[in-house]
């Protein structure tokens, strides 16, 4: 079974600075997707960024980018120019791309990000 | 755009009572999921469905039942609620296969069992 580990329960960053959230995963599959979800106090699950395992290029979405190291099974999220609205729980998630499977998301336990003004 | 809608949003139950959470999606998704979220545990999969009329167990299925009689609806039932089932419940859905690798979530249902 796949597992996702987020080793940082809490992180803090100064407004306008850069922060990196860590995520590692364990899988024997070669084809899969990786995601970062943001959960603000409202509890809504918001997709931040996604990465297809077959793509070597790291995904970017405005101030959010990832460092995907497939061999190391590492998928970190970098937030540049941090804003107060970035404060939230961040979840790393894995989804198998294997045909015929459930294609369910497996989540890490989350990292709580605080942004200090 | 309704997306994924969960009802009710909030509910307080007494131990031993039963209830059903309804999830409805209007995106014609094949896959539907029920997760629960507890402090420090992330989201854990309860049950899921890969199509109308099919369901399967996830990571934490005990104490819950599900049904998918219609493609757009996925019901989560608690037959005899226990305090350990106090949690936030999320429904999610997605397309089949690589045609849609993103899973869409509802806004959550807060359940307290006293």
In a 13 Å sphere around the CA of B110, the CA atoms on its Cβ side amount to: 5
Decide: B60 and B46 in contact? Cβ < 8 Å. Answer: yes
How do residues A70-116 score in pLDDT, each as one tens digit? 999 999 999 999 999 999 999 999 988 776 666 778 999 999 999 99
Report CB contact under 8 Å: B58, A99. Answer: no
Distance CA A58, CA A3 (A): 21
CA distance A106 to chain B (A): 8
Note the maximum CA span of chain B: 43
- Residue to mutate among A103, A110, A112, with most B CBs inside 10 A, is A103
Distance CA A21, CA B12 (A): 35
Distance CA A85, CA A102 (A): 34
Digitized pLDDT (tens) for each residue of chain B, 114 residues in all: 569 999 999 999 999 999 999 999 999 999 999 999 998 888 999 999 989 999 999 999 999 999 999 999 999 999 999 999 999 999 999 887 654 568 899 999 999 999
Decide: A92 and A4 in contact? Cβ < 8 Å. Answer: yes
Report CB contact under 8 Å: A104, B88. Answer: no
Q: Which residues of B touch A52 (CB under 8 A)?
A: 101
**DSSP code for B99:** G
- Residue to mutate among A8, A40, A43, A53, with most B CBs inside 10 A, is A43
Query: Closest by alpha carbon to B102, among A38, A40, A37?
Result: A37
The backbone region for B8, taken as left when phi is positive above 0, alpha when psi lies in -120 to 50, beta otherwise, is beta
How do residues A101-114 score in pLDDT, each as one tens digit? 667 789 999 999 99
Q: What residues pair up with B89 in beta bridges, in sequence order?
A: B36, B109
What was the pLDDT predicted at A30? 86
Q: Which residues of A touch B38 (CB under 8 A)?
A: none
Scored b (16 or more CB within 10 A) or e, A16-25 reads eeebebbbbb
Report CB contact under 8 Å: B88, A43. Answer: yes
- Residue to mutate among B37, B56, B89, B90, with most A CBs inside 10 A, is B37
**Sequence-ordered strand ranges (E) for chain B:** 4-7, 10-13, 19-25, 31-38, 42-51, 54-57, 65-67, 73-78, 87-94, 104-105, 109-113
Q: Which residues of B touch A43 (CB under 8 A)?
A: 37, 88, 107-108
Q: Does A44 touch chain B (CB under 8 A)?
A: yes
């Amino acid at each position: 079974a796949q597992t996702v580990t987020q080793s940082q329960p809490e992180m803090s960053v100064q407004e306008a600075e850069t922060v990196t959230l860590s995520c590692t995963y364990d899988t024997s599959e070669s084809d899969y997707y990786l995601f970062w979800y943001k959960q603000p106090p409202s509890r809504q699950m918001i997709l931040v960024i996604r990465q297809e395992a077959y793509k070597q290029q790291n995904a970017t979405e405005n101030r959010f980018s990832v460092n995907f190291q497939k061999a190391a099974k590492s998928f970190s999220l970098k937030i540049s120019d941090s804003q107060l609205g970035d404060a939230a729980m961040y979840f790393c998630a894995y989804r198998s791309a294997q045909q015929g499977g459930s294609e369910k998301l497996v989540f890490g336990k989350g990292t709580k990000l605080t942004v200090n003004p | 755009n309704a997306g994924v809608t969960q009802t009710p949003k909030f509910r307080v139950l007494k131990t031993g009572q039963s209830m059903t959470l309804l999830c409805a999606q209007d995106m014609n998704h094949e896959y539907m999921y029920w997760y629960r979220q507890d402090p420090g545990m992330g989201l854990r999969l309860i049950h899921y469905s890969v199509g109308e009329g099919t369901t399967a167990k996830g990571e934490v299925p005990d104490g819950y039942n599900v049904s998918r009689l219609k493609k757009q609806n996925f019901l989560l039932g608690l037959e005899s609620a226990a305090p350990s089932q106090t949690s936030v419940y999320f429904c999610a859905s997605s397309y089949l296969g690589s045609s849609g690798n993103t899973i869409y979530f509802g806004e959550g249902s807060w359940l307290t069992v006293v």
